[in-house]
Amino acid sequence: MLYENSIQKANLIMNLRSMGISSNNVLSAIEKVPRELFLPSNFHSYAYENNPLPIGFEQTISQPYIVALMTEALELKGNEIILEIGTGSGYQTSVLSLLSRRVYSIERIKPLLVNALSCFKKLKLTNIVCDHGDGFLGWPKLAPFDHLIVTCAIKNVDDRLLNQVRFNGICIAPVAVSPKEQRLKKITIKDKRDNDIWEDLGRVSFVPLISEYD
Protein backbone atom coordinates (compact mmCIF):
# COMPACT_ATOMS: atom_id res chain seq x y z
CA MET A 1 0.00 0.00 0.00
CA LEU A 2 1.23 3.46 -0.85
CA TYR A 3 2.28 5.74 1.97
CA GLU A 4 -0.09 8.63 2.45
CA ASN A 5 -0.49 10.91 5.45
CA SER A 6 -3.57 13.11 5.21
CA ILE A 7 -2.25 15.47 7.88
CA GLN A 8 0.98 15.97 5.95
CA LYS A 9 -0.98 16.57 2.76
CA ALA A 10 -3.25 19.11 4.47
CA ASN A 11 -0.19 20.88 5.88
CA LEU A 12 1.34 21.00 2.41
CA ILE A 13 -1.80 22.61 0.96
CA MET A 14 -1.81 25.19 3.77
CA ASN A 15 1.89 25.85 3.13
CA LEU A 16 1.26 26.38 -0.58
CA ARG A 17 -1.50 28.87 0.23
CA SER A 18 0.82 30.76 2.57
CA MET A 19 3.42 30.92 -0.22
CA GLY A 20 0.97 32.66 -2.52
CA ILE A 21 -0.78 29.87 -4.44
CA SER A 22 -4.36 31.10 -4.59
CA SER A 23 -6.05 28.96 -7.26
CA ASN A 24 -8.43 26.53 -5.60
CA ASN A 25 -8.42 24.40 -8.74
CA VAL A 26 -4.63 24.05 -8.65
CA LEU A 27 -4.60 23.29 -4.94
CA SER A 28 -7.37 20.73 -5.42
CA ALA A 29 -5.37 19.00 -8.18
CA ILE A 30 -2.26 18.93 -5.98
CA GLU A 31 -4.37 17.41 -3.22
CA LYS A 32 -5.87 14.76 -5.50
CA VAL A 33 -2.61 13.50 -7.06
CA PRO A 34 -0.78 11.07 -4.72
CA ARG A 35 2.80 12.34 -4.93
CA GLU A 36 4.18 9.20 -3.27
CA LEU A 37 3.12 7.17 -6.31
CA PHE A 38 5.78 8.94 -8.38
CA LEU A 39 8.62 8.38 -5.91
CA PRO A 40 10.94 5.46 -5.17
CA SER A 41 9.62 3.55 -2.15
CA ASN A 42 12.39 4.81 0.14
CA PHE A 43 11.12 8.38 -0.35
CA HIS A 44 7.40 7.76 0.26
CA SER A 45 7.59 9.18 3.76
CA TYR A 46 8.88 12.49 2.33
CA ALA A 47 6.19 12.77 -0.33
CA TYR A 48 4.35 15.73 1.20
CA GLU A 49 7.32 17.76 2.24
CA ASN A 50 7.75 20.84 0.09
CA ASN A 51 11.05 19.74 -1.43
CA PRO A 52 12.34 18.27 -4.69
CA LEU A 53 13.32 14.62 -4.41
CA PRO A 54 15.49 12.28 -6.52
CA ILE A 55 13.80 9.85 -8.89
CA GLY A 56 16.92 8.30 -10.42
CA PHE A 57 18.89 8.97 -13.62
CA GLU A 58 20.12 12.27 -12.08
CA GLN A 59 16.56 13.63 -12.29
CA THR A 60 14.20 14.97 -9.62
CA ILE A 61 10.51 15.32 -8.93
CA SER A 62 9.85 19.04 -8.57
CA GLN A 63 9.04 20.79 -5.32
CA PRO A 64 5.22 20.91 -4.91
CA TYR A 65 5.34 24.71 -4.70
CA ILE A 66 7.06 24.93 -8.09
CA VAL A 67 4.55 22.50 -9.62
CA ALA A 68 1.72 24.61 -8.23
CA LEU A 69 3.35 27.90 -9.32
CA MET A 70 3.95 26.72 -12.89
CA THR A 71 0.47 25.25 -13.15
CA GLU A 72 -1.22 28.35 -11.76
CA ALA A 73 0.74 30.56 -14.16
CA LEU A 74 -0.84 28.74 -17.12
CA GLU A 75 -4.24 30.18 -16.10
CA LEU A 76 -6.03 26.99 -17.11
CA LYS A 77 -9.76 27.03 -17.79
CA GLY A 78 -10.13 23.29 -18.35
CA ASN A 79 -10.36 22.86 -22.12
CA GLU A 80 -6.73 23.46 -23.09
CA ILE A 81 -4.31 21.24 -24.97
CA ILE A 82 -0.87 21.45 -23.37
CA LEU A 83 2.59 20.42 -24.50
CA GLU A 84 4.95 19.43 -21.69
CA ILE A 85 8.65 19.02 -22.35
CA GLY A 86 10.13 16.68 -19.76
CA THR A 87 7.65 14.10 -18.42
CA GLY A 88 10.09 13.10 -15.67
CA SER A 89 8.26 11.32 -12.87
CA GLY A 90 4.89 12.23 -14.40
CA TYR A 91 3.75 14.17 -11.31
CA GLN A 92 3.48 17.56 -13.02
CA THR A 93 1.84 15.85 -16.01
CA SER A 94 -0.81 14.32 -13.77
CA VAL A 95 -1.63 17.62 -12.09
CA LEU A 96 -2.00 19.25 -15.51
CA SER A 97 -4.21 16.42 -16.75
CA LEU A 98 -6.80 17.16 -14.05
CA LEU A 99 -7.03 20.78 -15.18
CA SER A 100 -6.96 20.54 -18.98
CA ARG A 101 -8.44 18.62 -21.91
CA ARG A 102 -5.23 16.87 -22.99
CA VAL A 103 -1.55 16.84 -22.15
CA TYR A 104 1.09 15.83 -24.68
CA SER A 105 4.38 15.09 -22.93
CA ILE A 106 7.87 14.25 -24.19
CA GLU A 107 10.58 12.44 -22.21
CA ARG A 108 14.06 11.44 -23.40
CA ILE A 109 14.83 8.92 -20.59
CA LYS A 110 12.92 5.75 -21.46
CA PRO A 111 12.81 4.13 -17.96
CA LEU A 112 11.35 7.33 -16.50
CA LEU A 113 8.73 7.41 -19.22
CA VAL A 114 7.82 3.78 -18.58
CA ASN A 115 7.39 4.50 -14.87
CA ALA A 116 5.32 7.60 -15.57
CA LEU A 117 3.02 5.68 -17.94
CA SER A 118 2.51 3.08 -15.22
CA CYS A 119 1.50 5.83 -12.79
CA PHE A 120 -0.96 7.33 -15.28
CA LYS A 121 -2.54 3.92 -15.72
CA LYS A 122 -2.90 3.40 -11.96
CA LEU A 123 -4.55 6.80 -11.64
CA LYS A 124 -6.76 6.12 -14.69
CA LEU A 125 -5.63 9.30 -16.41
CA THR A 126 -6.66 8.84 -20.03
CA ASN A 127 -6.02 12.34 -21.41
CA ILE A 128 -2.21 12.09 -21.43
CA VAL A 129 -0.27 11.21 -24.60
CA CYS A 130 3.48 10.62 -24.28
CA ASP A 131 6.40 10.31 -26.65
CA HIS A 132 9.94 9.10 -26.09
CA GLY A 133 12.33 11.57 -27.64
CA ASP A 134 14.23 14.83 -27.59
CA GLY A 135 11.93 17.63 -26.49
CA PHE A 136 14.08 20.53 -27.67
CA LEU A 137 12.11 20.88 -30.90
CA GLY A 138 8.73 20.30 -29.29
CA TRP A 139 6.09 18.26 -31.10
CA PRO A 140 5.54 20.21 -34.34
CA LYS A 141 3.24 17.73 -36.06
CA LEU A 142 0.66 18.22 -33.29
CA ALA A 143 1.03 22.00 -33.02
CA PRO A 144 -0.38 24.47 -32.29
CA PHE A 145 -0.89 23.95 -28.57
CA ASP A 146 -2.80 26.20 -26.21
CA HIS A 147 0.08 26.25 -23.73
CA LEU A 148 3.63 24.98 -23.30
CA ILE A 149 5.40 24.00 -20.10
CA VAL A 150 9.08 23.11 -19.90
CA THR A 151 10.19 21.19 -16.81
CA CYS A 152 13.95 21.37 -17.32
CA ALA A 153 16.25 24.37 -17.52
CA ILE A 154 17.03 25.71 -20.98
CA LYS A 155 19.51 28.36 -22.07
CA ASN A 156 17.14 29.94 -24.57
CA VAL A 157 13.46 29.50 -25.29
CA ASP A 158 13.80 28.58 -28.94
CA ASP A 159 11.43 30.26 -31.42
CA ARG A 160 10.72 26.82 -32.82
CA LEU A 161 9.04 26.07 -29.49
CA LEU A 162 7.23 29.38 -29.11
CA ASN A 163 5.91 29.14 -32.66
CA GLN A 164 4.04 25.98 -31.61
CA VAL A 165 1.88 27.92 -29.12
CA ARG A 166 -1.36 29.63 -30.12
CA PHE A 167 -1.87 33.40 -30.02
CA ASN A 168 -2.40 34.47 -26.38
CA GLY A 169 -1.18 31.07 -25.21
CA ILE A 170 1.35 30.82 -22.40
CA CYS A 171 4.78 29.24 -22.17
CA ILE A 172 6.29 28.54 -18.74
CA ALA A 173 9.99 27.68 -18.73
CA PRO A 174 13.00 27.83 -16.40
CA VAL A 175 15.71 29.75 -18.23
CA ALA A 176 19.39 29.55 -17.30
CA VAL A 177 20.33 33.24 -17.30
CA SER A 178 23.85 32.43 -16.06
CA PRO A 179 25.81 29.30 -15.10
CA LYS A 180 24.65 29.77 -11.50
CA GLU A 181 21.16 31.19 -11.86
CA GLN A 182 17.85 30.10 -13.38
CA ARG A 183 14.73 32.26 -13.61
CA LEU A 184 11.22 30.98 -14.20
CA LYS A 185 9.75 32.82 -17.18
CA LYS A 186 6.14 33.24 -18.22
CA ILE A 187 5.82 34.13 -21.89
CA THR A 188 2.48 35.21 -23.33
CA ILE A 189 2.51 34.52 -27.05
CA LYS A 190 1.61 37.31 -29.48
CA ASP A 191 1.51 37.69 -33.25
CA LYS A 192 5.26 38.25 -33.53
CA ARG A 193 8.08 37.07 -31.27
CA ASP A 194 9.11 40.70 -30.64
CA ASN A 195 5.64 41.33 -29.22
CA ASP A 196 5.63 38.40 -26.80
CA ILE A 197 5.16 39.43 -23.16
CA TRP A 198 7.84 38.11 -20.80
CA GLU A 199 7.33 37.97 -17.03
CA ASP A 200 9.76 36.81 -14.35
CA LEU A 201 8.27 34.46 -11.74
CA GLY A 202 11.36 34.12 -9.60
CA ARG A 203 14.49 32.10 -9.08
CA VAL A 204 14.31 28.32 -9.53
CA SER A 205 16.57 25.29 -9.76
CA PHE A 206 15.91 22.62 -12.39
CA VAL A 207 18.00 19.89 -13.94
CA PRO A 208 19.18 21.03 -17.40
CA LEU A 209 17.53 20.08 -20.65
CA ILE A 210 19.84 17.73 -22.53
CA SER A 211 19.47 17.78 -26.29
CA GLU A 212 21.52 16.99 -29.32
CA TYR A 213 20.18 20.25 -30.79
CA ASP A 214 21.29 22.51 -27.93
Residues recognised as catalytic: 62
Burial class (CB in 10 A: 0-12, 13-18, 19+), 76: buried
What letter would DSSP give residue 45? G
DSSP secondary structure letters along 70-129: HHHHTT--S--EEEEE--TTSHHHHHHHTTSSEEEEEES-HHHHHHHHHHHHHTT--SEE
What letter would DSSP give residue 208? B
The type of residue at 53 is L
Vertex 13: Cα angle to 8 and 15 (nearest 5): 90
Cβ atoms 147, 170 nearer than 8 A: yes
At how many degrees (to 10) do helices 24-32 and 64-73 cross? 140
At how many degrees (to 10) do helices 6-18 and 64-73 cross? 50
